[in-house]
Structure 1
């Protein structure tokens, strides 16, 4: 089976994000984003150059989630596609390009944050057996029978 790939865009949110709604009532996230550029020098060092700026848009529920979670200055990784567009304004033909993100997240290489998760349901011996096969099931203690014994975690934790 082939690995499915998509175009991606990494950078930083350069403007305050905007949340608007299309004529069809769909949420639309918009922000200008920047991409840093560097030049490698002959001595092996790098010189920081001016960043490039682009338009980033996201639609529907992803747009609303992005608007809640992203702010100016945040580093991100987005998956989607580049979209060229043109329109007429005041008799002038305007052409541009935007990145339409289907998915977006904070860039973990450049961002420190904590994720709040709801507690996951503890796996039962039966589910552990389904996951791990019969060999591990034979010696797997259950959480209930092990409660008064030592405080070792059950399988899958």
Structure 2
């Protein structure tokens, strides 16, 4: 069987995460993300060039979890796909837009300090949502604001 692959994207969260809901009631996360770019020099060193900024969205549980766990400045790695679409700008002119739709997203291991909490499996139906109240996922719930992350790995 072939290895399943998708597009990936890494960078940093450049704006405060914004959680909204679609007309169908699905959670939708929107953030601006930044990507630093580097040029390799002849001597083997690297020179930082421009930083580019892009839109990232996520939906449903991924959106809710990311909104709860990410803050501006966090480094991330995401898996998903690039979505291209047309819209009109403020002057009524049509423009082409792209956004990255994250199906999976997490903190970047190489650039984030964090601890892992591995509780014993007390229930047969253990899940990523164990111990998280629905109220904690609401847009009004306080979010983590530190640049360091606490990850739960099971």
TM-score normalized with structure 2 length: 0.74
Which whole-Å CA distance do the structure 1 matches of 2:54 and 2:92 have between them? 24
Deviations 1:48-67 (A, max 9, x none): 11211110000011100000
Contiguous gaps of at least 5 residues in structure 2: 123-154
RMSD after superposition = 1.3
**Which one scores higher on RCO, CA 8 angstroms, separation ≥ 6?**
2
Is the counterpart of residue 42 in structure 1 residue 34 in structure 2? Answer: no
Which whole-Å CA distance do the structure 2 matches of 1:76 and 1:91 have between them? 34
Q: Higher Cα Rg: structure 1 or 2?
A: 1
User: Structure 1 segments of 4 or more deviating over 6 A?
Assistant: none
TM-score normalized with structure 1 length: 0.73
Deviations 1:55-98 (A, max 9, x none): 00000111000000001111111000000011235532122000
Question: Following superposition of structure 1 onto structure 2, how do residues 9-20 of structure 1 map, counting pairs within 5 Å?
Answer: 9-20=9-20
Deviations 1:95-148 (A, max 9, x none): 200000000011101111112232136xxxxxxxxxxxxxxxxxxxxxxxxxxx
Aligned length: 121
Which whole-Å CA distance do the structure 2 matches of 1:120 and 1:83 have between them? 38
Question: Following superposition of structure 1 onto structure 2, how do residues 4-153 of structure 1 map, counting pairs within 5 Å?
Answer: 4-89=4-89, 90-120=91-121
